[in-house]
Structure 1
Amino acid sequence: MAIIALVAAKGSPGVTTAALACTLTWHHRVVLAECDPAGGSILAGYLGGALDGPRGIGELAVGELRDGNLEEAFWSQLVDLDAPKRERLLLPGVVDPVQAGSVTPLWQRFADFFVELEKGQPAYDVIVDCGRLQVVAPPWPLLRAASVVLVVTSAHLPHLSSARATVNAIERDFADHRVPAGSLRLLLVGDGHGRGEVSKALGLPVIAQLPHDPRTAEVLSHGGTVRGGRPLMRAADSLEVPVRTLMDRRRARLSWPSSQEVPHAV
């Protein structure tokens, strides 16, 4: 499935929670990469900071800039969320603002590397938590390289305006960089307006809606025992099917002969 990128609209909650829930429930090997320039939260939150030394994308970026050893160093920077299976791995995000300066020039390098993980032995999909776009240096190359891009937003009116601005920004960037159509979808979190209303308002299909489940969200944010039968985890598990279907359909479309290409439209 290659790269699945999640990005939040300004003020919308839930992108990291949704990404982590998917990582813990999906049925293929997956790496969750925290690529939010504002910093990662899973290490200090869900994992309680319990690691034997610094690890994550910041350390990886410093090593890559110094030694150019991304391929060799990558696997040593991951955290096994379901040890010792190495089926659900985490690349923690930056924990020091200074690290962000090292990561920013490497977004394209990381995008290219993540795409190749699908071809490895064993193969891994990569769920990328891109955070919010309203930062100094958004990880645009990761969004452009993704097979599926999910804009995570609440279904309440105050958040829909920000979601519209985020969708517009992504559509403009994709058009400018000739990103093939069909990767962009909405992922709703919590209660609010119906999927049809939100889709019509934002001009984009809704792929799924994750339920309001504060108990599970608290565990995913601050640590504890994750219960697979909880509503949020069941919904995250179910999300894998439409995401994979969308990816397969898009790949089939991109494999058409060039004479059958359609005009760009996100």
Structure 2
Amino acid sequence: MKNAPGATTLGLGLAALWPEKALLVECDPEGGDLAARFGHHPQPGLTGLAAVARAEGARVDLGDHVQRLGVGASVVLAPPGDAAAAAVQTLAYAGTEVLRRAAENDAVIVDVGRLVRGGPGLRLAAVADHVVVVAGAQLSDALQVQARLRWLRPELSGRLWLVRSGDDGYDAAELGRVLGVPVLGEMPTGRLVAGVLTGRLQVPNWRRLKLARAMRDMALTLVTAQPASMLPPVPAAEQLVPVEVRS
């Protein structure tokens, strides 16, 4: 979503804390940051995966394009700049079957960045079992999500979730109720864990801290959640109103 606060951090955290084997595919057309943050070269990575997927289709082995980061996550790294957008575009139209096949054995987490109508990220999200939207809890953030849900929901075949980011604004239950989206969890402010997952800090016990525990709980929920086909119809969302602030 617009200015999604911490989406890449969450994706990397889920990959590192997933209870079983998992990997992250960095598919944000405006991304390509993880290689630099963790001191890796972006190859092998997304560019090579996209090129081979276009040439060979679903026969590609996703594992050939993975690197292991210091936080314990396996990642398909994107290149910086326009090369990331080009690789994401190619993968969205030629590589979705590669991701599907890989997900039959291991969890595949795809960071698509901001979801845009008609964009490659939406095409990737459309085939996912779960789609997690990260949003701030201020009225402006919630309105941005609400406006996009009208066209996002019909595009998805999987289950839609909301993650509340930050400490102010609507609480998680209220935000989920007015948007009509189940809340997967909350990302409280956690400078140490965020520093670890952006490559700026090394904290030996970071997995025990509050933000990491919240991410682990989200991963467990996704592992055990029912598929979208078994869920009741989504209730209509309510009209958002400003949060009253009293001194």
Partners of 2:94 and 2:235 in 1: CA distance: 27
Partners of 2:194 and 2:180 in 1: CA distance: 28
Q: Does 1:132 align with 2:114?
A: yes
Using the TM superposition, give the Cα deviation of residue 219 of structure 1 relative to its aligned residue in structure 2, in angstroms.
Answer: 2.4
- Alpha carbons 2:52, 2:60 under 8 Å: kept: no
Q: Could you tell me which amino acid in structure 1 is paired with residue 17 of structure 2? A: T
Partners of 1:158 and 1:245 in 2: CA distance: 32
- Alpha carbons 2:27, 2:84 under 8 Å: kept: no
Taking every aligned residue pair, what percent have the same amino acid on both sides?
26
Q: Does 1:104 align with 2:89?
A: yes
Compute the TM-score of the two structures, normalised by the length of structure 1. Answer: 0.76
Secondary structure in 1 matching 2:11: helix
Compute the TM-score of the two structures, normalised by the length of structure 2. Answer: 0.82
Partners of 1:264 and 1:204 in 2: CA distance: 8
Q: Deviations over 1:42-88 (max 9, x none)?
A: 1112x1x334x7321122213333x42764463222102369xxx84
- Alpha carbons 2:165, 2:187 under 8 Å: kept: yes
Secondary structure in 2 matching 1:40: coil
Going from structure 1 to structure 2, the CA distance change for 1:217 and 1:264 (only over 3 Å counts) comes to closer
Match of 2:26 among 12, 21, 34: 34
Which residue matches 2:216?
Answer: 237
Partners of 1:69 and 1:173 in 2: CA distance: 23
Which residue matches 2:40?
Answer: 50
Match of 1:201 among 156, 178, 190: 178
Using the TM superposition, give the Cα deviation of residue 235 of structure 1 relative to its aligned residue in structure 2, in angstroms.
Answer: 0.7
Partners of 2:117 and 2:153 in 1: CA distance: 18
Ranges of 4+ aligned residues in structure 1 off by more than 6 Å: 262-266
**Which of the pair has the greater relative contact order for Cα pairs under 8 Å at 6+ separation?**
1
Structure 2 spans left out of the alignment, 5+ residues: 237-247
Which residue matches 2:202?
Answer: 225
Partners of 2:227 and 2:43 in 1: CA distance: 38
- Alpha carbons 1:21, 1:232 under 8 Å: kept: no
- Alpha carbons 1:32, 1:129 under 8 Å: kept: yes
Structure 1 spans left out of the alignment, 5+ residues: 1-8, 255-261
Using the TM superposition, give the Cα deviation of residue 132 of structure 1 relative to its aligned residue in structure 2, in angstroms.
Answer: 0.3
Partners of 1:252 and 1:242 in 2: CA distance: 17
Q: Could you tell me which amino acid in structure 2 is paired with residue 81 of structure 1? A: L
Q: Does 1:169 align with 2:151?
A: yes
